[in-house]
C-alpha cells in the first residue's frame, strides 16, 4: 500500500450553530489544536499525501488557520449546502488528479485515528471500490444502520426507513469512508437529489456502487474514535477522552503523574521519562520537558523548554521562550518569559524574569524583577554566572550584571555592574530614636478622636 497515493477530502463547511459561537465549529480546539487539524494529522499519519478542505462558513478564517497546520492543503468553498455528496464534489479539482485512494472525512471528528483510516485503505488495496467506516454507539437511535449481506455492505439505511428488524442492528454509519480514486467521480456524479430535502447524500454511493457490480464493504471504528462534535458539551467530552489517552500514554512511557486526572497536556507536549508531575499542572502548546524533571503542583507552562533534572514550581508560570537548562530551578510564584535560566541557576520565590539570561549557578532573590518594558519596547537583562541578586531588587533593562556580581537587597539597578562587584541602588537608611513611639501616639490619638466624632453624629 506504500505505493498507493491518497487524497483526504475533509468536510469543514458546517456552520455549527449548536456551538453558539462566531468561530467556525471545526476551529474549536482539542488539546490546543483546532479539531479539524486533528483530522488532518490522522489522515497524514495514514498516508494521505494530499489534503482538500471543503469550507464554507468563516472561509477566510478557515484559510488563515489552515495555513498554520496544513500549509499544503487545497481549500474549496461549498457555496450552497446541498448535502454531503455535494460537499465532496466541491473538491472535484483535487479528486480528478488521479489519487489511488480518496478518504472522505469530517472536520468535527477530532478523535479519529490513523489506524482506522489505514484499515479502510487496505480494503481498497484489496479491491473494494467503497469502504464505509462504521461504529457501534451505546444507543444506535438516530443513526443510519449499515446493512450487510454475505460480507458486503449493500445499503446504509436511515432509521426512519428501517424495518423493525433493521432497527435492531447496532452497527451504524460513522459518516467517513474511503473510495477508490478510479471510481470516485463517477460514483459521486451518479448521486441524485430525489429526496424530501432535495440534497445529494454521500451514502447513496453504496447502492450505486453495488448496482454497478463494485465491491462495497464496511470497517469498524471505536465509538470514541468516531465521535462527532456538535456542541460545547461534546467538545468537552472529546477533550476528556483525548486527555485520558495522553495521560495513559505518558505514564506508560515512564512519566509519573501523581494525580493524572488533574494534569492537562497539549497536542504537542513532549515529556521525558522519570519526570514527576504533581497535581493540577497545565501544559500549553510548545512544551518540551527532558528526563528527570520535577514539575510541582499548580504550575502553568507554555512554549517552554525544560532540561533534565530541572525543578519547577509549585505555582510557577513559564511563558513562551522560557528556556531552563540542566538542574535549573524556578520556584513558587515565579514567572519566566523569553529568558534562559542556565545550568544550576535558581529563581526561587515571587520573581519575574523576562527578556533575560540568568547565568549558571546564579541566585535570584525573592521579589526580584527584571524591568524589561518601558511601555513601548522590550529590553534585555544579562545576569552573569554565579551572580547573587538580593531580595526585592529591580533590574532596569537594558542592564548587565557581571559574573559573580552581588546586588544588595532592595536595590534598583540601572547601570552595568562589573564582574565580582557589589552594587547598592537604594536610599541610605536614617534612624531617629523615639520617633516611632511618638508617631504611634499621634496616630492613636487621631483615630480615637475620629471614632468619638463618629459616635456623636449618631
Q: What pLDDT is recorded for position 399?
A: 98
Q: What pLDDT is recorded for position 142?
A: 87
Yes or no: say if 145 and 233 are a contact pair by the CB < 8 Å rule.
no
Helix (H, G, I), strand (E, B) or coil at 49: coil
Q: What pLDDT is recorded for position 80?
A: 86
**Low-confidence spans in the chain with pLDDT less than 70:** 1-2, 458
pTM across the whole model? 0.89
C-alpha cell belonging to residue 410: 532592595
Q: What pLDDT is recorded for position 428?
A: 85
Residue 237 CA, chain-centre distance (Å), reads: 15
Alpha-helix runs per DSSP H in 25-79:
35-45, 59-69
Among 267, 300, 349, 458, the one annotated catalytic: 349
Domains observed in the chain:
6-220 (3.90.550.10), 232-423 (2.160.10.10)
Sign of the Cα pseudo-torsion (242, 229, 49, 115, in order): positive
DSSP state of 143: S
DSSP state of 260: G
Q: How confident is the model over 126-179, as pLDDT tens digits?
A: 999 999 999 999 999 989 999 999 889 999 988 888 898 999 999 999 999 999
For residue 183, indicate whether it is catalytic: no
Q: Find the Cα–Cα–Cα–Cα dihedral 11, 15, 20, 24, rounded to 10°.
A: 60
Sign of the Cα pseudo-torsion (217, 220, 225, 230, in order): positive
Q: What pLDDT is recorded for position 2?
A: 61
The Cα 170–Cα 176 span in angstroms is 17
CA atoms within 13 A on the CB side of 411: 19
The neighbouring-strand residues paired with 75 are 53
Yes or no: say if 324 and 304 are a contact pair by the CB < 8 Å rule.
yes
Q: How confident is the model over 235-268, as pLDDT tens digits?
A: 999 999 999 999 999 999 999 999 999 999 999 9
The neighbouring-strand residues paired with 257 are 277
The Cα 84–Cα 114 span in angstroms is 22
Q: What pLDDT is recorded for position 265?
A: 98
In the block, cell 500549553 appears at 284
Amino acid at each position: 500500500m506504500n505505493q498507493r497515493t491518497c487524497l483526504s477530502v475533509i468536510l469543514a463547511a458546517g456552520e455549527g450553530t449548536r456551538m453558539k459561537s462566531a468561530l467556525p465549529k471545526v476551529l474549536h480546539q482539542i488539546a490546543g489544536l483546532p479539531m479539524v487539524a486533528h483530522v488532518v494529522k490522522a489522515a497524514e499519519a495514514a498516508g494521505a499525501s494530499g489534503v482538500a478542505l471543503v469550507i464554507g462558513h468563516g472561509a477566510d478564517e478557515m484559510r488563515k488557520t489552515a495555513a498554520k497546520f496544513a500549509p499544503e492543503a487545497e481549500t474549496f468553498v461549498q457555496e450552497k449546502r446541498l448535502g454531503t455528496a455535494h460537499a465532496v464534489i466541491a473538491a472535484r479539482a483535487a479528486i480528478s488528479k488521479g489519487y489511488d485512494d480518496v478518504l472522505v472525512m469530517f472536520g468535527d471528528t477530532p478523535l479519529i485515528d490513523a489506524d482506522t483510516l489505514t484499515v479502510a485503505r487496505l480494503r481498497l488495496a484489496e479491491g473494494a471500490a467503497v469502504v464505509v467506516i462504521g461504529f457501534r454507539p451505546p444507543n444506535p437511535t438516530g443513526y443510519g444502520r449499515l446493512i450487510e449481506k454475505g460480507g458486503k455492505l449493500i445499503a446504509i439505511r436511515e432509521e426512519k426507513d428501517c424495518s423493525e428488524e433493521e432497527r435492531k442492528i447496532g452497527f451504524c454509519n460513522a459518516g467517513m469512508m474511503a473510495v477508490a480514486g478510479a471510481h470516485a467521480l463517477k460514483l459521486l456524479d451518479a448521486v441524485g437529489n430525489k429526496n424530501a430535502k432535495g440534497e445529494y447524500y454521500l451514502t447513496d454511493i453504496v447502492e450505486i456502487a453495488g448496482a454497478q457490480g463494485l465491491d462495497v464493504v464496511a470497517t469498524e471504528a471505536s465509538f470514541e474514535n468516531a465521535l462527532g462534535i456538535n456542541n460545547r458539551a461534546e467538545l468537552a467530552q472529546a477533550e476528556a477522552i483525548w486527555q485520558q489517552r495522553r495521560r495513559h500514554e505518558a505514564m506508560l512511557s515512564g512519566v509519573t503523574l501523581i494525580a493524572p486526572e488533574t494534569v492537562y497536556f497539549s497536542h504537542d507536549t513532549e515529556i521525558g521519562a522519570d519526570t514527576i508531575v504533581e497535581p493540577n499542572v497545565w501544559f500549553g502548546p510548545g512544551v518540551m520537558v527532558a528526563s528527570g524533571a520535577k514539575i510541582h503542583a499548580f504550575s502553568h507552562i507554555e512554549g517552554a523548554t525544560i532540561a533534565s533534572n530541572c525543578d519547577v514550581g509549585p505555582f510557577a508560570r513559564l511563558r513562551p521562550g522560557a528556556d531552563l537548562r540542566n538542574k535549573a530551578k524556578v520556584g513558587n510564584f515565579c514567572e519566566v518569559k523569553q529568558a534562559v535560566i542556565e545550568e544550576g541557576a535558581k529563581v526561587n520565590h515571587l520573581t519575574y524574569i523576562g527578556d533575560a539570561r540568568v547565568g549558571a549557578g546564579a541566585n535570584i532573590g525573592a521579589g526580584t524583577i527584571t524591568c524589561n518594558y518601558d511601555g513601548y519596547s522590550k529590553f534585555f537583562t544579562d545576569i552573569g554566572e554565579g551572580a547573587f541578586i538580593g531580595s526585592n531588587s529591580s533590574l532596569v533593562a537594558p542592564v548587565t550584571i557581571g559574573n559573580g556580581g552581588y546586588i544588595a537587597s532592595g536595590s534598583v539597578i540601572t547601570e552595568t555592574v562589573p564582574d565580582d562587584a557589589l552594587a547598592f541602588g537604594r536610599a541610605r537608611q536614617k534612624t531617629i530614636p523615639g520617633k516611632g513611639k511618638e508617631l504611634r501616639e499621634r496616630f492613636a490619638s487621631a483615630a480615637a478622636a475620629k471614632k468619638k466624632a463618629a459616635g456623636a453624629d449618631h
